[in-house]
């Protein structure tokens, strides 16, 4: 999957897991539930999954591809 930043014109390539996270973002699934689903779908340790999801979301936010809700 490729994400296009319409403002900068930059493209961001993401792998299958990143694509799955993006799908869950579209469904407005909260981060904790997102991690739970990924743990069910992939063979990964919970602490590693949590760190990687947090880092991925932070990277999306840093690049202004998402805005975290305070609600």
pLDDT at position 23 is 96
71 pLDDT more than 70: no
Domain boundaries, the chain: 2-62
**For 1-71, where are the E strands, in sequence order?**
2-4, 11-13
The pTM (predicted TM-score) of the whole model is 0.88
Q: Which residue has the tokens 């993006």?
A: 22
Residues 42, 48, 54, 59, Cα dihedral to 10°: -90
70 pLDDT more than 80: no
User: What's the token pair of residue 36?
Assistant: 């739970």
CA atoms within 13 A on the CB side of 68: 12
**Model confidence over 17-53: pLDDT tens digits?**
999 999 999 999 999 999 999 999 999 999 999 999 9
Which phi and psi (to 5°) does residue 39 adopt? -65, -35
pLDDT confidence bin for 7, thresholds 50/70/90: confident
């Amino acid at each position: 999957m490729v994400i296009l930043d319409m403002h900068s014109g930059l493209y961001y390539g993401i792998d299958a897991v990143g694509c799955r996270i993006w799908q869950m973002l579209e469904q407005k699934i909260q981060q904790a539930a997102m991690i739970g689903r990924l743990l069910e779908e992939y063979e990964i340790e919970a602490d590693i999954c949590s760190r990687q999801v947090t880092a991925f979301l932070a990277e999306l936010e840093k690049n202004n591809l998402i805005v975290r809700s305070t609600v």
